[in-house]
Structure 1
Amino acid sequence: MPRVPPPAAPRVAVLGAGSWGSAFALVLADAGCRVALWARRPEVADEVRRLRTNTARLGDVRLPDAVEATADAAEALRGADLVVLAVPLQRLRAQLTAWRALLPAVPLVCLAKGVEAGTGLFGTEVVAEVTGAGPERVVAVSGPNLAAEVARRQPAATVAACTDGAVAARVAAACTSPAFRAETSRDVVGVDVAGAVKNVVALAVGIAEGAGHGANARAAVLTRGLGETTRLGLALGAEAATFAGLAGVGDLVATCGSPLSRNHRAGLALGRGASLEQALAAAGGTVEGVTSAPAVLRRAERAGVRLPLVEQVAAAVTAGAAPDGLAARLVGC
């Protein structure tokens, strides 16, 4: 009998060479995919091609040879079986608009977490609105996935969520490597809500810690934050079990407790009396919770849900500093 050749490794375009985009490209390559990594800056793509590193984002971590790099989005997308969108949420709409004519009719995987300022949309909703893709093609990937740990191949797990279970399974298989495990879910709304609100809660926990409060206070803020996340999710049609899983409490614990979390670092600085500008500088990168807090609050108001902890954080970032007594009020929300 003639030998049947093995199926070709899937080709995945990762659009965005930030910390998480680069780390996710590494995971995909470790899982056996051929990866085309798009970088906005040509010098980053050149560094990946020549040295196999992205030092500005991942330090001395070496990216696998299966990761190609380019500053040309059309080149990255050519022949892609999956497209991973790894740009910050507040830039996602503009980038998608620029790429719309280039995107193949394949699953679109959104890594961005948060709520878009102005529209109140979650990342997958922005993807669907701009591209016209149906829900069966839009996938949310979220979990306790601190990029620096993932890039060092420390064990981690995530959730791939899509209304089409077969598509969720396809994405999960594409990013399951020896050090990275992906579960599936059909609860896209729950995964989106959890990923957005956890950034706000991480700011709140950081504020309490920065003000000098101990483990009891941090645990109280985190628990109240989980409660608010769940209430909003249920009001929007999510499943309660999602918030007890990796995308819910798992991501919340990692983001609220790790010094690698930019949202937590910004909260620490605010709690110690820094201005918002100083806190953002101390975080050293995008702090999605700052933009998301007011947007989450507006989304909750439209859903008829009261979120006292999110209200307090939104007021602080809008004012540009944490007012006296905020940490204590967060504990009592």
Structure 2
Amino acid sequence: MSGPTAVVLGAGSWGTAFAKVLADAGTDVRIWARREQVAAAINDTRTNPDYLPGRRLPDRITATSDAAKAIDGAEIVVLAVPSQTLRRNLAEWVPYLAPDSTLVSLMKGIELGTLKRMSEVIVEVTGVATDRVAVVSGPNLAAEIADEQPAATVVACTDTDRATLIQAAISTPYFRPYTNDDVIGAELGGAVKNVIALACGIATAMNLGDNTKATLITRGLAETSRLGVALGADPLTFAGLAGMGDLVATCSSPLSRNRTFGEHLGRGETLEEAQAATKQTAEGVKSCLSIRDLARRHDVEMPITEQVERVCHEGLSPRVAMAALMARSTKPE
């Protein structure tokens, strides 16, 4: 039995892996690629050599660089572009959206300037009701999922029927989705973990051990939970896949872009040098600015985020940043 039709807007590693999940679950999928040569490679070779080399993509997947053609008639519209480009891209795509399509965000960031979560940007730009927007978040390293290694994720949506629809559309023997109605918590977990992963990467490059990294992960989760509760999230979300699950995977895996980027910073490279070396978007580098500002707006303490922002954007030495965290006044946990 054929499932709904879907489009994935963005042909990066996670967008491509997610398209494979949809196809393996029985959905016909179109991928929109910004560059024509990426779309051609997917159609001609059944692979995405730039972002997921060596992984064969199902025949249910086709690709195009024509957004109107990609979106036409799609019942599930998956947004998988870098978070800071969402507003600009989405404004061009709005005219092509079907009236009752479900918009699915794979993005993990907070918009600079507006301090909006990605679902808030989607609602603002498209004018759709909030219950048409779902968020997918969890320990979802793209290469492992493309290799069909067992993984789970959270589909968060205020409309439980839509959450269940997306759940069914991405359920495969190797990918297990759970539903949740806490969109705020799922999005914050996904955004803040990138910042904490930068800190873990920095610590790794400084030859600091597992005690340090476990401390950063645990206190990073505390920061995330504090901000989440201030914004109206369910604190239990942060103990689940979209919170602790995503945080552990991103902070501990060499496949994590943010952790890898942090390692470059920890070796003393500048932001520009680290960007040149990694060549992919590390969402936490920009989001640390907006998350810091969001925390200040709500009077929430986020000391790890503050220090990561100073290392990334103010040229602070990683050693000075670590010393500053350890020198904070003691208090009850």
- Length-normalised TM-score, structure 2: 0.96
Q: Give me the whole-angstrom Cα distance separating, in 2, the residues matched to 1:13 and 1:323.
A: 41
Question: For residues 57-85 of structure 1, what are the alpha-carbon distances to aligned partners after superposition, in whole Å with 9 as ceiling and x for unaligned?
Answer: 00111100000111111111112111000
Q: Give me the whole-angstrom Cα distance separating, in 1, the residues matched to 2:287 and 2:50.
A: 25
Among 225, 230, 237, the alignment partner of 1:235 is 230
Question: For residues 7-38 of structure 1, what are the alpha-carbon distances to aligned partners after superposition, in whole Å with 9 as ceiling and x for unaligned?
Answer: x4210011110111000000000001000111
Tell me the amino acid that sits aligned with residue 117 of structure 1. Answer: L
Matched, 1:46 2:33: no
Matched, 1:218 2:245: no
2:16 aligned partner: 22
Confirm or deny: 8 A CA contact 2:102 2:162 kept in the other structure.
yes
Identity score, percent: 53
Confirm or deny: 8 A CA contact 1:273 1:321 kept in the other structure.
no
Aligned residues: 327
Matched, 1:11 2:2: no
Please list, as runs of the form range in 1=range in 2, the aligned pairs for 1:58-97 lying within 5 A after superposition: 58-97=52-91
Describe the SS at the equivalent of 1:212: coil
Among 180, 204, 209, the alignment partner of 1:209 is 204
Q: Give me the whole-angstrom Cα distance separating, in 1, the residues matched to 2:236 and 2:304.
A: 22
Q: Give me the whole-angstrom Cα distance separating, in 2, the residues matched to 1:283 and 1:310.
A: 21
Confirm or deny: 8 A CA contact 1:157 1:180 kept in the other structure.
yes
Tell me the amino acid that sits aligned with residue 194 of structure 2. Answer: N
Describe the SS at the equivalent of 1:329: helix
Tell me the amino acid that sits aligned with residue 316 of structure 1. Answer: V
Q: Give me the whole-angstrom Cα distance separating, in 2, the residues matched to 1:120 and 1:285.
A: 23
Tell me the amino acid that sits aligned with residue 81 of structure 2. Answer: V
Describe the SS at the equivalent of 1:114: coil
Matched, 1:287 2:282: yes
Confirm or deny: 8 A CA contact 1:162 1:187 kept in the other structure.
yes
Tell me the amino acid that sits aligned with residue 18 of structure 1. Answer: G
From the superposition, tell whether residues 331 and 269 of structure 1 become closer, same or farther in structure 2 (CA, over 3 Å).
Answer: farther
Deviation at 1:321, TM superposition (A): 5.3
Tell me the amino acid that sits aligned with residue 197 of structure 1. Answer: V
List structure 1 runs of 4+ shifted beyond 3 angstroms. Answer: 320-324, 328-333
Deviation at 1:133, TM superposition (A): 1.1
Question: For residues 139-163 of structure 1, what are the alpha-carbon distances to aligned partners after superposition, in whole Å with 9 as ceiling and x for unaligned?
Answer: 1101000011111111111100000
Q: Give me the whole-angstrom Cα distance separating, in 2, the residues matched to 1:12 and 1:104.
A: 11
Structure 1 unaligned blocks of 5 or more: 1-5
Q: Give me the whole-angstrom Cα distance separating, in 2, the residues matched to 1:332 and 1:55.
A: 46
Confirm or deny: 8 A CA contact 1:263 1:283 kept in the other structure.
no
Q: Give me the whole-angstrom Cα distance separating, in 2, the residues matched to 1:324 and 1:179.
A: 41
Among 283, 296, 301, the alignment partner of 2:296 is 301
Deviation at 1:329, TM superposition (A): 3.4
Q: Give me the whole-angstrom Cα distance separating, in 2, the residues matched to 1:136 and 1:201.
A: 30
Describe the SS at the equivalent of 2:114: coil
Q: Give me the whole-angstrom Cα distance separating, in 2, the residues matched to 1:306 and 1:48.
A: 45
Confirm or deny: 8 A CA contact 1:19 1:57 kept in the other structure.
yes
Matched, 1:168 2:197: no
RMSD: 1.2
Describe the SS at the equivalent of 2:51: helix
Q: Give me the whole-angstrom Cα distance separating, in 1, the residues matched to 2:299 and 2:316.
A: 27
Matched, 1:98 2:99: no
Deviation at 1:320, TM superposition (A): 3.9
2:123 aligned partner: 128
1:109 aligned partner: 104
Confirm or deny: 8 A CA contact 1:100 1:131 kept in the other structure.
yes
Q: Give me the whole-angstrom Cα distance separating, in 1, the residues matched to 2:287 and 2:126.
A: 22
Deviation at 1:316, TM superposition (A): 1.3
Among 22, 26, 33, the alignment partner of 2:27 is 33
Describe the SS at the equivalent of 1:57: coil
